[in-house]
């Protein structure tokens, strides 16, 4: 299976290159970069053995040399490129937010003008644990955001047991979540030995989380969401708090979550009192979940640890690629974490 990666030198593009280089059924045939076009991957990143030269965007080159295309490009750039690729009858996994939101007016309120509204209904939300069968036949998969992946997986099994009007989510992300571009807030001296909240109750992933949780619940869900930047390169920890409708204890909550994800390759529900850790999922496609009921306040606390570049981005996209190619879902994704 021939694979193209558009935007190969950003963090998510590099993670796609790293994991797909060892995928037994994938051959990387095209990798694009506007900035580094003409240079070999191995010259820029000596840890790669691939002698492939980076190219500028060339629709014919991509269409003639790839079966599946990953677009690891910024928001509002993907939507300009994907329509032409679909006209070439290519299957696409888009890692931007351009096709995640189903209502154009919601997208435009949070991101800006949408130039490919005709494709929104065609796109399948690429969370395999929820939309596995839809992904298999899709031509356009909208890979979920990192925060939504952790939040949705943590809350999905619990929606029928919690009050939907008082969900609070606290989430912490490593610095790679901000991308590879140079910005003051990502500089070492600005991040090291500190922690800060940002975009409080105003993060662009909020409508994506609410859209998908509302679908699963069958009713309108609203959340209060506060993300934080922490001084690690990769990793994400989500803690969601919600009041219970009735009575549950931690053992029952664990059983609910375990049954919901029974048979899933990449979601592991930890037995209380175990707590997920970002180091245990670093560099993998896994999501580790934990749950605790505070019986004193009758609130449930759901926790999720993922790698924001892995299950929160690139390896989840490869999981969808496996489904689209009718391969075993875990193909090329069963490596151990980078614990140290």
- pLDDT, tens only, 137-168: 999 999 999 999 999 999 999 999 999 989 99
- pLDDT, tens only, 271-297: 999 999 999 999 999 999 999 999 999
pLDDT of 233 strictly over 70: yes
pLDDT at 182: 65
How many whole angstroms separate alpha carbon 151 and alpha carbon 240?
Answer: 7
pLDDT at 74: 94
List residues bridging with 226 in a β-sheet: 170
Global pTM reads: 0.96
Q: Is 146 a catalytic residue?
A: yes
- Dihedral pair phi/psi, residue 90, rounded to 5°: -100, 150
pLDDT at 185: 76
Fold of the domain spanning 2-143+313-324: Rossmann fold (3.40.50)
- Report helix, strand or coil for 202: coil
How many whole angstroms separate alpha carbon 41 and alpha carbon 39?
Answer: 7
pLDDT of 184 strictly over 80: no
What residue spans of 171-313 are helical by DSSP H?
Answer: 188-191, 206-217, 250-260
* Nearest by Cα to 153 from 339, 332, 311: 311
Where do the domains of the chain lie? 2-143+313-324, 147-306
Among 8, 16, 138, 146, which one carries the catalytic annotation? 146
For 147-306, CATH gives: 3.30.360.10
How many whole angstroms separate alpha carbon 159 and alpha carbon 219?
Answer: 10
Residue 211 exposure: Cα atoms within 13 Å on the Cβ side:
18
pLDDT at 181: 72
């Amino acid at each position: 299976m021939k694979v193209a990666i558009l935007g190969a030198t950003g963090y998510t593009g590099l993670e796609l290159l790293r994991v797909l280089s060892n995928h037994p059924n994938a051959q990387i045939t095209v990798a694009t970069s506007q900035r580094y076009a003409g240079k070999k991957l191995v010259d820029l990143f000596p840890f790669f053995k691939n002698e492939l030269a980076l190219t500028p965007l060339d629709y014919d080159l991509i269409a003639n040399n790839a079966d599946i295309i990953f677009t690891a490009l910024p928001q509002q750039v993907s939507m300009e490129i994907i329509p032409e690729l679909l006209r070439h009858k290519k299957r696409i996994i888009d890692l931007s937010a351009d096709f995640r939101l189903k209502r154009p007016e919601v997208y435009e309120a949070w991101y800006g003008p949408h130039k490919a509204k005709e494709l929104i209904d065609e796109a399948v939300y690429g969370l395999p644990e929820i939309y596995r069968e839809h992904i298999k036949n899709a031509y356009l998969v909208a890979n979920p955001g990192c925060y939504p992946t952790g939040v949705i997986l943590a809350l999905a099994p619990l929606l029928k047991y919690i009050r939907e009007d008082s969900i609070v989510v606290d989430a912490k992300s490593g610095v790679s979540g901000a991308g590879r571009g140079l910005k003051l807030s990502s500089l070492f001296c600005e991040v090291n030995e500190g922690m800060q909240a940002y975009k409080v109750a105003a993060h662009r992933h909020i409508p994506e989380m609410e859209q998908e949780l509302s679908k699963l619940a069958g009713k309108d869900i609203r959340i209060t969401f506060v993300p934080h930047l922490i001084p690690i390169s990769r990793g994400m920890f989500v803690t969601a708090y919600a009041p219970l409708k009735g009575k549950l204890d931690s053992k029952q909550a664990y059983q609910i979550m375990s049954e919901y994800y029974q048979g899933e390759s990449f979601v592991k529900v930890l037995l209380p009192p175990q707590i997920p850790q970002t180091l245990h999922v670093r560099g993998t496609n896994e999501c580790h979940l934990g749950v605790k009921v505070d019986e004193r306040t009758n609130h449930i606390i759901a926790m999720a640890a993922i790698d924001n570049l892995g299950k929160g981005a690139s390896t989840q996209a490869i999981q969808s690629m496996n489904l689209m190619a009718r391969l075993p879902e875990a193909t090329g994704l069963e490596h151990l974490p980078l614990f140290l």
